[in-house]
Amino acid sequence: MGSLMAGCLLDAGIHLTVHDLRSSAAESLLERGASWADTPRQAVDGCGMVWASLPGPDQVVSALLGDETGALVGMANGAVLVDTTTDDPDVARRVAATCRQNGVAMLDAPVSGRPPNMTMMVGGDRSVFDQVFADLEKVAARVFYVGESGAGCAAKLATQYMGYTNLIAAIQGMLIGKAAGIDPAVLAEIVPVSAGASRAFNAIPNAILDGSYQAGGTLDIVAKDVALACALAARLNVPATTGSAADALYRAAQERGWGSDGYPVVARILEELAGQSLNES
């Protein structure tokens, strides 16, 4: 995701200095004119705007707030940090507070979809949002300001909760149909034009019926997001019984060693429980 967003910024004529733990992840960007930095701190030296795209809270703390190599240490007074990580809102607020102490403005701006046609949910100071709005539009087609620091992450977790608990329900519905003798391929045609229609359902005909389980996100990433959403619900005293069940299923799939596979692989857990297979291959 970070590479795709960086590509959009290069398309807009912006010079980039990039860093990743895996240098191979930046090869295509370097070929297009980006510069390489050996550490997060070196990457941000002299930059007025810094973008981060990281797997989760632990990596945010390490890469941004880490010791002498952390990005924040090297950011100039008055710079703006745009963190697109799907993060714990509390961690986002912690980063924002530390940024303010160092004269840096920070926006938590997680994204959904793929650049440049994705959606961005932004938390932070409204004046900073207005200041960099044109830059945010370079990577996202729909940019929403949703509130103070942490609000962007909260909005993203709410949507992830909806989408990936919905997928579990959709798989269960398909298994009910299969057990009742309905051809999954036929049911998959019925659902999009019935009450079961949803974006999450699309993973079933596209990645589960053929057994490929290929998707734009890994099981590890989805499991992390669902777990963060459930933890947020618990802190806010909001019932999340559906999410708790989904969380357990995604974790069970991780325990099988499928974390780097596409997230639809969770269907294999549900198929085993139901004694039914949706795989038509």
Residue 156 annotated among the catalytic residues of the structure: yes
For residue 42, count CB atoms less than 10 angstroms from its CB and return exposed for 0-12, middle for 13-18, buried for 19 or more. middle
Q: What DSSP state is assigned to residue 183?
A: -
Determine the distance from the C-alpha atom of residue 54 to the mean position of all C-alpha atoms in its chain, rounded to a whole number: 9
| Paired strand residues for 82 | 51, 107
For residue 113, count CB atoms less than 10 angstroms from its CB and return exposed for 0-12, middle for 13-18, buried for 19 or more. middle
| Secondary structure percentages of the chain, helix, strand, coil, to 5 | 55, 10, 35
Phi-psi region for residue 184, left (φ > 0), alpha (ψ -120 to 50) or beta? alpha
Contact 71, 52 (CB under 8 A): yes
- Active-site residue (options: 138, 156, 178, 224): 156
For residue 35, count CB atoms less than 10 angstroms from its CB and return exposed for 0-12, middle for 13-18, buried for 19 or more. middle
Cite the active site residues.
Answer: 156
